[in-house]
Amino acid sequence: MIHIVFNEVEVDLMKQVIEMDETLAGDVWQIKDDFAVGPLANIDTEEGWQARLEWWRGLMQGSPYAADLVGSFDDRETVSKIKTKLDENSEEEVWIWMGQNQHDVTGYYWLMPQLKDYQGRIMVLYMNNLPFINEKGQIFYPSWLHEIQPKEFVKAKKLARPITLSEFEIDPDEWKRIAEENATVRILEGGKKIAGKEESFYDNEIVKNITGEWQKATRVLSNTLHRMKIKTGDVFLMWRMKGLINNGKIEVTGDLGKSWKDFDVKLMGAKSSSVAETEEATI
C-alpha cells in the first residue's frame, strides 16, 4: 500500500495512523508543490516545468527557507517511483488522501493524468464535508487532514474507494483546463471545483492586518495566515505583500531586499498614534 499526501505535516501524521492500524502499513509519499498558485502553462513539458521553478525561485528570495529549496525535489520523480512500484507488484495499491482545500485538490488533479493506466488500483479518500471529533470531543468539519486526530483517521479508512473509470476520463481534462487557464491563484469552490483568480486575490487579507502603526512584516504575515479563511502559503503571501509595497499601497521601512525580518510595514499615508497625538497637541 502506498499513501499519498500533499502536506509535510501529514507524512508524520500518516505514520502515526499506521502505527495504530497495521492494516494501513505502507510507504508514505508527499507531493510537495503547491499547484494552487503559480504558472501551469505547458507544465507537462520541460520548458513549462522549468518556468514554474523559476517563478518559485523569485518568490523564495529573502525567505527563511533554504535558498536551494526550489529544485531540491521533483514531484515528477516521486510519481515515477510510485509507478515503478505499481509495475513491479500487481497487488500494490495507491491511496490518495486529501482534505477539502485547493492545495490538496489541485495536487490530486495533477496526479490524475499520470496514474490513469492504473485504474482499479488507485483509491481516494476525500474528506469533503465530513464531520469528525476534535480533541475537545466536539464535532467539526476539517479543511485539512492535519486537523484530524490520528485515531479519527483510522476510522476514515472506511471512506477509501477506487477512482472510477469515469473520473479517470473527466479529471485529466479538468486538469488540462486548469493548466490552460493558467490563473495565478486557484481556489476550491466546493466539491472538486477549482476556480481561477487573479494574483491579487489575497491582497485584502493582507491589508486587513496592517494598521497605521509600524509592524514587523513577519507579524503581519503570521496574523494573516492565522485569520484568513481560504488558506495559502506564507511564501506566496509575502510575495503579494512586497507587491503591495511596490504598488504604493503599503509603506515600508527597513531593507526589503534582505530577509523577511528586516523590514516593517504600515498602511500608506496612515499616521502613527504618536505622530497624531503630537499634531493634535500642537493644534
pLDDT in tens, 193-251: 999 999 999 999 999 999 999 999 999 999 999 999 999 999 999 999 999 999 999 99
Q: Cα 35–37–40 angle (5° rounding)? A: 65
- Run of H or E residues at 80: helix 75-88
Residue 151 has pLDDT above 60, yes or no: yes
Quick one: pLDDT at residue 273? 56
| Range scoring the smallest mean pLDDT among 22-31, 45-54, 70-79 | 70-79
Task: State the average pLDDT over residues 249-271.
Answer: 89
Domains of the chain: residue spans and CATH: 2-180 (no CATH), 203-275 (1.10.10)
Reported in sequence order, the residue ranges of 1-48 that DSSP labels E, i.e. its strands, are: 2-5, 27-30
Q: Amino acid identity of 82?
A: I
Contact in structure between 109 and 179 (CB atoms under 8 Å): no
CA 192 to mean position of chain CA atoms:
15
Write out pLDDT tens, residues 118-140.
Answer: 999 999 999 998 899 888 889 99
Quick one: pLDDT at residue 48? 97
Quick one: pLDDT at residue 67? 61
Query: 126 has which bridge partners?
Result: 98
- Run of H or E residues at 165: helix 165-181
Tell me the whole-structure pTM to 2 decimals. 0.91
